[in-house]
Amino acid sequence: MLRVADTAIGVDVGGTRIRVARIARGGSLGGTLQDRVSEPVQQDRDGFSAQIIRLINAARNDSCRAVGIGIPGRIDGAAQTIESAGYIDVAGMDLPTMIARETGLPTRIENDAMMALVAEGNARPEGATGLIMMLTVGTGIGGATLENGTPWYGGGISGQFGHIVVSADGPLCNCGRVGCVETLSSGTALGQLITKAGLPDTIRAEEIHARALAGDDAASDLLNEWARPFLRAIETLISVADPRLVIIGGGLGVDMTRALERLPRQDKWFNVPIEMALLGDDAGVIGAGLCALSAHAATQSE
């Protein structure tokens, strides 16, 4: 039986930072976060392994039953394998077995966007009913799909929404093709647009929004150029999967949602609600903990 007081360690591995916290079920947003720590992520394999075990052991207490880890990249959630992981050198590594061996806690991995979506679905009053899709905007663009609360993996690694092609002659992408939405609407792409516009590279997206609101045409154009390919990608997702809801999260989720609100929506074929993430950047670590608690509960009831 899963006791009310049980917690899990949630780990959110980002391209630049790793966050760890104890997560309990409950609270107004479906999960509560205790003793969160965040530090720059070690990108080499040995450094990363030592770091993640140290952080899990520092965060755990007697209430901890399991570990959940969200990882950016191509993670096969069904097979629990890492196909590729962006900037972190952990491809092919059997992380769940290694963490379980070193900490004694059963461990589950998912794509980081899937972890965020689990938390977001859980946080909404109507719950994770129906088909819900999420796009995360950070250094790159990630994605995930939940069907009635259950992760949908396709053949294994579904969720590579950053590689929806939105321009036939766009920039070259890491995946080897051109014009993927990640090359035009990620945080990296926003940085390139800022440089192209001659703005200081320290300017924050929030400030560009403020300038656009104040009537600065260059700022408006920049935001539109950043968000338009993203809206095209969302419309493609809608045409393929017809979700009930599309959620926008990640470090730049708020800024992208505000930029999308400036654009005209096609009101007939593609009229699905697009909502900002409720949990902001904490969604990944909360979802990782909730996933671990669910997996633990499933093994207890077998």
79 forms part of the interface with Zn ion (CB under 5 A): no
180 forms part of the interface with Zn ion (CB under 5 A): yes
Which residues lie below 8 Å from residue 185, measured CB to CB, with a gap of 6+?
137, 141, 226, 227, 229, 230, 233, 256
Binding residues with Zn ion: total (CB under 5 A): 4
Task: Give the binding range for Zn ion (CB under 5 A) out of 7-15, 16-24, 112-120, 161-169.
Answer: 161-169
Of 85, 119, 173, 190, the residue at the interface with Zn ion (CB under 5 A) is 173
175 forms part of the interface with Zn ion (CB under 5 A): yes
163 forms part of the interface with Zn ion (CB under 5 A): yes
50 forms part of the interface with Zn ion (CB under 5 A): no
234 forms part of the interface with Zn ion (CB under 5 A): no
**From residue 183, how far is each of 40, 144, 192 by CA, in Å?**
24, 19, 10
157 forms part of the interface with Zn ion (CB under 5 A): no
Residue 4 in contact with residue 289, Cβ under 8 Å? no
CA–CA gap between residue 40 and residue 83 (Å, rounded) = 23
CA 107 to chain centre: 19
Residue 279 in contact with residue 289, Cβ under 8 Å? no
Task: Give the binding range for Zn ion (CB under 5 A) out of 134-142, 150-158, 169-177, 289-297.
Answer: 169-177
Residue 86 in contact with residue 72, Cβ under 8 Å? yes
75 forms part of the interface with Zn ion (CB under 5 A): no
Tokens 């929506």 map to which residue? Answer: 265
As measured in angstroms, the least distance from the Cβ of 228 to Zn ion is: 18
Task: Give the binding range for Zn ion (CB under 5 A) out of 78-86, 111-119, 168-176, 247-255.
Answer: 168-176
Contacts with Zn ion, residue ranges (CB under 5 A): 163, 173, 175, 180
